[in-house]
Amino acid sequence: MQLKKAVVILAVVIVGLSIYLLTRHSDRTLYRLPQQPSVPVQSITRIDINGPEGMISLNRADDSWTIGEQKYPADRAKVSRMLDAISALSLTAMMSESKDYIRYDLTDKNKISVKAWAGTTPEREFEIGKVAPSFRHTFVKLAGDAKVYQARNNFRTTFEQGVEDLRDKVVLSFAASDIQEIRLTKGTETMTLARHEAPLAETGEKEEGDTAKETSPPLKAIMVWQANDGRAAASAKVDELLAAVSQLACEKFITDHVTADYKDPIYTLELKGQKAHRLSIFAKQSETDNSYPAVSSDSPYPFFLTEWKAKQLMPAFEDLLEPPNKDQK
């Protein structure tokens, strides 16, 4: 009788252990993850971000985005990455039900709250914690849900940005090929460079009696730069200058002064094409500064240029000209 009882107990233990072994590896899959339907990027009109950098609101304005009440133009590429992360939010696992938020950087001090709107309707709301050790996932919480989830992709740094980080830092924008005239001013000295066509004859040998080949060869035209005093400009160097200034991005914006505060530039570039553009660079505020204040016609805000960029945009006049022909000396 005792043997039979022991066998029954042993059988129960074996069955229980078998059930445990079969299910213990799937503990984390014995639940249903909240479904996160895709949110069309085009439908999102506002993004509210609240985190360690403070509260920031991004607002769609036609095909562009602005930041906060100041309506600073926002960096399109950075906003695009945010929209992609919001639209494609995908949960891959539940990590915790114990409200152990410190472990996942989801405390009030460290979390980043994101709320995306379509007009006046909230489309998606979630909180971002730290990046998973794999660097391929991010820990998140959903609105109204105390659980911690793991989301696909590493996107904390996408939202961990302040106003200055998100501002569009392009302060001059034009096609270099559109510019036909450049006026450079340094102190009281001025030089103007103009682009014009110069004929370039094709060379070729003619045979005697070949009337067809005795005709003048067709002329090709090339674009060259020339100074206002007739000297030839070093076209390659002028093109390098245009390339450097045509999509000019500043180091950062100046927030404690306005454009009107800056007078007497040390160097000015005026560029004429279909539209006119102007860049004025001012003396450094102190000898130890590594940046030059500047203003441009394309930006309502003053800004800083790094020292190397500013020097690149302030070439000596002679450096933009071809050396004089020895025969002309």
* Shared-domain flag, residues 143 and 184: no
* Shared-domain flag, residues 50 and 176: no
Both tokens assigned to 115: 């709320």
Residue 232 is classified by DSSP as: B
What is the mean predicted confidence (pLDDT) over 95-124?
96
Residue 120 covered by a domain: yes
Residue 115 covered by a domain: yes
> Which pLDDT value is given to residue 222?
79
CB 274 within 8 Å of CB 260: no
Residue 25 covered by a domain: no
CB 300 within 8 Å of CB 259: yes
Q: Which DSSP helix (H) or strand (E) runs through 140? A: strand 137-142
Domain boundary among 166, 185, 211: 166
**Mean pLDDT across the chain, nearest whole number?**
88
Residue 16 covered by a domain: no
Residue 11 covered by a domain: no
* Shared-domain flag, residues 236 and 141: no
CB 127 within 8 Å of CB 114: yes
* Shared-domain flag, residues 314 and 180: yes
Residues 6+ apart with CB under 8 A from 236: none
Write out pLDDT tens, residues 131-156. 999 999 999 999 999 999 999 999 99
* Shared-domain flag, residues 316 and 182: yes
Residue 98 covered by a domain: yes
* Shared-domain flag, residues 175 and 134: no
* Shared-domain flag, residues 248 and 158: no
Q: Which DSSP helix (H) or strand (E) runs through 252? A: strand 252-253
* Shared-domain flag, residues 192 and 256: yes
Residue 206 covered by a domain: no
CA atoms within 13 A on the CB side of 298: 22
* Shared-domain flag, residues 65 and 149: yes
Write out pLDDT tens, residues 33-79. 998 888 999 999 999 999 988 999 999 988 899 999 999 999 999 99
Write out pLDDT tens, residues 232-254. 999 999 999 999 999 999 999 99
Q: What is 73-137 written as a DSSP string?
A: EB-HHHHHHHHHHHHT--EEEEEESS---GGGT-STTT-EEEEEEETTEEEEEEEEEEEPTTSSE
Q: Which DSSP helix (H) or strand (E) runs through 310? A: helix 307-312
Q: Which of 119, 248, 279 is nearest to 184 (CA)?
A: 279
pLDDT at 8 over 50: yes
* Shared-domain flag, residues 315 and 177: yes
> Which pLDDT value is given to residue 209?
54
For residue 115, give the amino acid letter.
K
Write out pLDDT tens, residues 180-198. 999 999 999 999 999 988 7
* Shared-domain flag, residues 162 and 174: no
Q: Which domain holds residue 241?
A: 170-201+219-324
* Shared-domain flag, residues 186 and 297: yes
Residue 241 covered by a domain: yes
Residues 6+ apart with CB under 8 A from 301: 72, 253, 254, 258, 259
User: What total number of domains does the chain contain?
Assistant: 2
> Which pLDDT value is given to residue 106?
97
Residue 241 is classified by DSSP as: H
Write out pLDDT tens, residues 201-216. 543 444 555 555 555 5
Q: What is the pTM of this model?
A: 0.79
Can you tell me the distance from the alpha carbon of 95 to that of 255, in angstroms, rounded to the nearest whole number?
A: 43
